[in-house]
Structure 1
Amino acid sequence: MKILGPVVTSKSIGKSYLQLRDLFPIAKRYGYNCIVLSEPHPRSWVSFIVYAQKYRIKPIILYETANGKYLLQTNNDIRSAIMHYNGLGNNLRLKKIDMDLPYVKYPTDFLKDIFKDEESLCIKDGLKYQNELSIFSNIETYYNIGNYRFDEYKVTDYNLTDTISQKDLTFEEKRRLSYELNIIKKLKVENYILTVKKIVDTAKKNGISVGPGRGSAVGSFLVYKLGITKVNPIEYDLLFERFLNEYRHELPDIDLDIDAEKRVDLIKALQKEFGENKISQIRTYSTMKIKSALKKAEELLGYNLEAKINTPIRSKENIDKFKSLSQKEKTFFYAAYYLEGIEVAESVHAAGLIISQNDLRTFSPLEKKEVPIIEWEMSDLKYLGVEKFDILALDTLTFLKRLQIKEKYRELNDSKTFHYLSKGLTKGIFQLDSKLGQKLAQRIKPKNFEELILLLAINRPGPLESGMIDQYVNDDSPEYLKKIFSETKGVLVYQEQIMKIAQILGEFSPQESDLLRKAVSKKEKDKITTFKNKFVTNASKKIDEKEATLLFSQIENFAQYAFNKSHAVAYAHITYWLSEKKFKDPSNFFLEYVKIKGVDVDVINEASVLGVKIKLPDIRYPFGLASETELILPLYIIKGIGRNVSQIFEEAKLLSLENFFNFIINKNINRNIVELIIKSGALDYFNNNRKNLLRETTQRVKGKVQQLEDIKSTLFGEREQKSTKKVETTLQDLAQYEIESIGFPLSLMSQKGLSNTLIDKYLYRQKVYLDGYVYRDFIVDNSAMINSKVYNKNLKRLIKYI
């Protein structure tokens, strides 16, 4: 028997360059039958066992402590070691192994040589130590990943069947509930759904906003009736089978959106609800990606690779390219190949939580934090049959809260809202706040809520390139499809439509239709061929065979661009709420947006279209102010000034320029901050000659030095000659100051007699006759501000086409 060890993996960050994915295939190549893993942590244990089973190599795990190395032979030994690792007891009743060998830390001698590491081994070097490793020859291990599992939390205070007994259900609703409940019980996922309900109920009990729903779960009427989602799927013809069907072998996926400011509060509330040691976050790792692997290889070798690599280094494309490289380039490629994927830092899963029936400290390695972090990655947890609950922090819910928007699910038909959306005024609007979102809104011109759903579904580069949008705008679909999908003019936009058409024309069962959707989206050729034969045969009875074959090709083509309608429906509600608020109360909308995201050209221009003038900061209103036609920017829009400084001025209640100077001297506020405040125009109410104010600041902030000068003047009759030359602030000064302090020359938009045409170029990209200003990278008139590469050292009037 050939034995390799002791091995340290790259999950011992900074101590090894040996990834598990390289360890086993290379070890197999050298004929090793057994690998001994020896680390002071359990992070690699699950994957190590799984790889060992895959490659049929005997795994042996040693747990290293300050007192020595301990042998783990069974699942119970693993649990004992984990409890010790988590600080539950110091007495390890495990067999101690005495072994003093260098560690295997590199996949190849080539990589070891590059790092000039003479103390450690590569995989091949392990062959030299077979005598010393023979102590493991007769050791057997009995690790069974399948039996090492957590017990999921059991909900006992609610029964799903109770949902059907609710009053005021229609016959259709009762039928739908019974059908869904039957599938859920067949798949034994009741407890998972009830646990999600408990999470949502805990959020509501603590006044924490939860979104209307996301993903395919919005297609479940039962989930809606449980209060997990807030959109009635029957009203939008959403399919339960997209969420769950009897052919599905994994747990349903119910993700929750939570007010971003309250996610931590929710997790703490859940700890009280479920138990402090029954909830944990999940470990993730930052790894070397393509660029960092190439950079590290260059650092180690002293030269770079001339051949360009933009795809993962281990991709087939790059492996093929490798064959034609020179020896020097091959050396570089080898180094980058083994570096890509190396763990460089620990992180935490952005959304995932583990909820257990038992104390997690007795099952899994945990990093002690306010909310513990399980030190196994999600891929490890899946091997153990553990599922996560995703709780995502959504900034938009925080935005909704600040705007005091009330959720509504009826009367989503305000004509003003759709009018302005159709113009492309999408700044700050959820899911549409991008140039692509603006462009598509102008093309689709949504006139109602159903078209808004469609707009969200196609707001991706794929549909734009596929011809789907042209087909919709030009109304090019066959008549029979228009009759089936009138809401999308017969265009296949949603994944649910693929399923529905398979059921209507192809005579597929609901479950089969979801399998078809998966097959075409994943391009599984064998499955597609089988489904195609059935579809064409059955659809040919209703439309001719040629048309049926063409339709199936269309399904295959559009499947990769089709979107989950359930998700689009839920998110379209958030989009509508924000849009309606924006167009009814634009000044407050933009003020809250600016407080979170800052000001930019789009904010300035869209506010202008909606009749709101963006004004410079004002020291009297440090957190900004909104009126019907004006928005005063908050003080912390100024570069280098934070909310803490704004808070200081909020408490000051400054009423005069003299107040201001006394205040900044008493508070010892940094002179640079004072100058930026002046340059931003925040003191214009008291004195709009900013250049003069800057000079006065220099004199006043001299403090004690100035006092000494005054004393000297009194005692000796000496007085420093001060400049009495009048200082004026020019328009160019204003533009320069404002770009320096807030990034935009807003004063240029307030000059009399300029044109109001530039907004047409901004919105519709059409040529306009401009009477405005060009300054640095900005073109400005009274209606808008556009970034430009035009640079003009001297401010001047520009009257010409642009």
Structure 2
Amino acid sequence: ECGKVVGGKEESEMNTVSALIPKVFGQVMDIKEAHEEVPQFGEWCDKNPKVYNIALKLRNLVKNKGVHPSGILLSYDKMIESCPCELDSSKEPVSSFDMNWVSMFNVKLDVLGLRTVSVVHECCKILRETRDVNLKPEDIDLDDEFIYQNLYDLKQRHGLFQIEADANYEVCRKVKPKNLEELSAVLALGRPGAMQFIDQFANYSNNGVYEAIHPFFDDILKDTGGVALYQEQLMKMANKIGFTLDEAELLRRIVGKKKTKEVRKWKKKIREKVKENRLSSEWLGSKGQVEVGDVLWKVLEDSANYSFNKSHSISYASLAAITTFLKFKYPKEFFLALLKMTRFEPDPITEIAKVSRELPKFGIKLLSPNLLKSEMDFAIEGDNLRFGLTSIKGISDKSIKKLENFKNKYSTKFEVFQGASEAGIGIGILSALIQAGALEGEFSHSRSYIVAESQLWNLLTPREKVKAFDLAEEKKCDLMEVVKYLNKELKDDKGKPFIKDSRIETIRRNFKPYKQIYDKNRSNEDFANWYYENALLGYTHGKYLRKVSSEYSHLESIETALGKTENSKVNFIATVEDTYSAKSRKGTPYLRLTLQDETGVCTAMIFTQKNRDNIANCRRDNGGTLPVKKGIVIVKGVKKDGDTIFADLVRIQDQKIFMKLSEIKSLTS
């Protein structure tokens, strides 16, 4: 807001700048800290000092208010007697207090809505309808050995609730949970502040090595390997040294809301309580001499950054176990449920891409959209899944009725164009269908050419279209040739061209933008098809990126690169999904790229070193620019641990496909 008002900046620029500010333990980093730690953000602030300095003064002020979408307030007395109330925009009563104040006077419930619950429900529904398997989520044994066998050496994680997140996935691979309790611990350990205890818990889980922090608390921490993972454990520890359960609950709330300033006030209280109950016994542990009060204070201080509510963790772990069971027991139905839910995601195309990369590992194909074979939504087709027409980017649910009227068997392209017009299908939707391959195999010309023809068809008069139908077979259904013939060769009853020169000039003028797009894209049809499929579907059902051009044919896939041993050389092509630049703890700048192809995802790191500045080299090799999102890059480097690549060379590919006239205009302006 400050950037827009004070600096007169565009909203798009300020959104990009705001995105540079990282989150620490789920909270947005203070802008002063971000200025010091994030180079790109610091550079922008230094170039815009007025915006930055005023923003510093506005910190912690309330900008506007909102209403929790699923927060419910319970009161013993009349609500108006326990807190101020007002009417929201829907004339419904809401509290005027914020969430912190309101919870001091009433009971606040937050109803949690999870899309994964819908996925589970949909999967069970599909099983009933397609396989006559009457399975309910509550029927699944959450300690079933089948679940934990599949988590033991997990590689395909998409769709597994919470486990698919990078941090939880790595914890899962280390801990190798064998039951629901250990799976719950995995999710609790995956939180930022708790990661320091991963190795300790994994050593306890896998080898039975218990690392005590003080014998006084062993009975409370024995089940979590000496790690105070949960808020309930913290409450028990506080109660054991003499605090009441009410005081312990207050402490849990403070920790749960990450009120670090409030936490600090408890240090004195803990010392007084230990002294009052004569518990100041010291114990020589692995980390030196420790005292009961100091142990609780250290746990409390650390917990403000990571402590998890156990009932919440167990609930999450239960859902994680259910999704694991469904995915590996009924993969086809589970993936179908995931695909059906992608339309409700902020970025459906990205979610479809994630599913498409895993399907081959289960022997399932995602068949391309097809005007005749596809249903409106994703569907099972034999042993595979078929892409739904309404999930093609650019086609909305509002188009379903029109598409149903349009679905037909057409013998010529001209019938397709006319059928679309009669069904009310706009040129944008028709172009998306063609570019996505929904008419693949039906007609001989390339997709780019057919899209151009469909644009030309819309410029013709009814009289000209009738004559085009008559000439379809003779001219092999090439509309551009038909129009040329109607102007140059075919005469009307008066011996004049069927399409006069003045009329052909009007057609040419109106068709010129679409012809420009076709001319730009025709040089590499394979690449154009790959681009269309990825942009409109989220995956490619034709050629892989490294196969669309002979200059890429020697490159390997990300899956092959990640399958190599550590320190092996790799050389692959990929699209850039995300970029992030920052400084290491030692102050060394680095650039992190999230890259993907049809087979996998990896992280490429570009470092600045004493004897070699790879970031500067990358900028120099690419005409002064660095890789950006959705760009295509060739990467040479060395494979490191996990999915990490240390990049020595990153070359930006300048291949460009145009889908709109505005893109050509921006290129030439």
* Structure-1-length-normalised TM-score: 0.49
Distance 2:6 2:632 in 1: 49
The answer to whether structure 1 residue 759 and structure 2 residue 488 are counterparts is: no
- Provide the residue aligned with 1:572 in structure 2: 317
Provide, for residues 15-53 of structure 1, a one-character-per-residue CA deviation record: whole Å limited to 9, x for no partner: xxxxxxxxxxxxxxxxxxxxxxxxxxxxxxxxxxxxxxx
The answer to whether structure 1 residue 468 and structure 2 residue 197 are counterparts is: yes
Gaps of 5+ in 2: 10-19, 22-27, 37-47, 125-134, 471-485, 509-514, 516-521, 578-594, 605-626, 640-644, 646-669
Shift of 1:670: 2.0
- Provide the residue aligned with 1:376 in structure 2: 96
- Provide the residue aligned with 1:733 in structure 2: 528
Residue number among 360, 366, 375 corresponding to 1:614 in the alignment: 366
Distance 1:332 1:774 in 2: 40
Distance 1:791 1:341 in 2: 32
Question: What are the residue-to-residue correspondences of 1:536-555 with 2, within 5 Å?
Answer: 537=279, 546=289, 549=292, 551-552=295-296, 555=299
- Provide the residue aligned with 1:136 in structure 2: none
Percent identical among aligned pairs is 21
Residue number among 216, 220, 226 corresponding to 1:490 in the alignment: 226
- Tell whether the 8 Å contact from 1:591 to 1:625 is kept in structure 2 after alignment: yes
Amino acid at match of 2:389: L
- Tell whether the 8 Å contact from 1:616 to 1:632 is kept in structure 2 after alignment: yes
Which deviates further from its counterpart, 430-439 or 372-381?
Answer: 372-381
Distance 2:557 2:366 in 1: 18
Distance 1:409 1:541 in 2: 48
Distance 1:546 1:792 in 2: 55
Question: What are the residue-to-residue correspondences of 1:224-623 with 2, within 5 Å?
Answer: 292-293=1-2, 295-298=4-7, 347-354=66-73, 366-367=86-87, 370=90, 372-374=92-94, 376-378=96-98, 382=102, 385=105, 388-404=108-124, 406-408=136-138, 411-422=141-152, 423-464=154-195, 467-475=196-204, 477-478=210-211, 485=221, 487-500=223-236, 514=249, 522-523=263-264, 524-533=266-275, 537=279, 546=289, 549=292, 551-552=295-296, 555-556=299-300, 558-560=302-304, 561-595=306-340, 596=342, 597=345, 598-600=348-350, 601-619=353-371, 620-623=374-377
Amino acid at match of 2:138: K
- Provide the residue aligned with 2:653 in structure 1: none
Provide, for residues 459-481 of structure 1, a one-character-per-residue CA deviation record: whole Å limited to 9, x for no partner: 211112xx211212234533668
CA separation of 1:719 and 1:417: change in aligned 2, threshold 3 A: farther
- Provide the residue aligned with 2:425 in structure 1: 669
Residue number among 573, 576, 580 corresponding to 1:774 in the alignment: 573
Distance 2:86 2:279 in 1: 56
Amino acid at match of 2:96: W
Provide, for residues 402-459 of structure 1, a one-character-per-residue CA deviation record: whole Å limited to 9, x for no partner: 2237232762134443344442533233333422233222222223211111111122
Provide, for residues 220-265 of structure 1, a one-character-per-residue CA deviation record: whole Å limited to 9, x for no partner: xxxxxxxxxxxxxxxxxxxxxxxxxxxxxxxxxxxxxxxxxxxxxx
Provide, for residues 678-709 of structure 1, a one-character-per-residue CA deviation record: whole Å limited to 9, x for no partner: 11112225348434533543454445263376
CA separation of 1:775 and 1:349: change in aligned 2, threshold 3 A: closer
SS at 2:67's partner residue?
Answer: strand
The answer to whether structure 1 residue 690 and structure 2 residue 447 are counterparts is: yes
Distance 2:459 2:338 in 1: 38
- Tell whether the 8 Å contact from 1:367 to 1:374 is kept in structure 2 after alignment: yes
CA separation of 1:763 and 1:421: change in aligned 2, threshold 3 A: farther
* Structure-2-length-normalised TM-score: 0.57
Distance 2:543 2:534 in 1: 11
SS at 2:68's partner residue?
Answer: strand
- Whichever of the two has the greater Rg, that structure is 1
Amino acid at match of 2:364: V
SS at 1:626's partner residue?
Answer: strand
Question: What are the residue-to-residue correspondences of 1:78-227 with 2, within 5 Å?
Answer: none
- Provide the residue aligned with 2:656 in structure 1: none
Distance 1:765 1:514 in 2: 50
CA separation of 1:386 and 1:770: change in aligned 2, threshold 3 A: closer
CA separation of 1:380 and 1:351: change in aligned 2, threshold 3 A: same
SS at 1:477's partner residue?
Answer: coil
Distance 1:576 1:570 in 2: 10
Shift of 1:378: 3.6
Distance 2:318 2:289 in 1: 40
- Tell whether the 8 Å contact from 1:516 to 1:531 is kept in structure 2 after alignment: no
Question: What are the residue-to-residue correspondences of 1:790-801 with 2, within 5 Å?
Answer: none
Distance 2:234 2:492 in 1: 94
Shift of 1:344: 6.0
SS at 2:543's partner residue?
Answer: helix
CA separation of 1:500 and 1:782: change in aligned 2, threshold 3 A: same
CA separation of 1:571 and 1:379: change in aligned 2, threshold 3 A: closer
Distance 1:333 1:681 in 2: 49
Amino acid at match of 2:5: K
SS at 2:314's partner residue?
Answer: helix
Provide, for residues 143-184 of structure 1, a one-character-per-residue CA deviation record: whole Å limited to 9, x for no partner: xxxxxxxxxxxxxxxxxxxxxxxxxxxxxxxxxxxxxxxxxx
Question: What are the residue-to-residue correspondences of 1:625-704 with 2, within 5 Å?
Answer: 625-627=379-381, 629-650=383-404, 652-656=406-410, 658=412, 660-684=416-440, 686-687=442-443, 689-704=446-461
- RMSD over aligned CA atoms reads 5.4
Shift of 1:553: 6.0
Which deviates further from its counterpart, 583-592 or 789-798?
Answer: 789-798
Shift of 1:381: 7.7
Gaps of 5+ in 1: 1-291, 301-307, 319-328
Shift of 1:664: 0.6
- Provide the residue aligned with 1:707 in structure 2: 465
Provide, for residues 602-631 of structure 1, a one-character-per-residue CA deviation record: whole Å limited to 9, x for no partner: 322223333333333233323122357433
Distance 1:679 1:331 in 2: 48
Amino acid at match of 1:493: L
Provide, for residues 62-120 of structure 1, a one-character-per-residue CA deviation record: whole Å limited to 9, x for no partner: xxxxxxxxxxxxxxxxxxxxxxxxxxxxxxxxxxxxxxxxxxxxxxxxxxxxxxxxxxx
SS at 1:408's partner residue?
Answer: helix
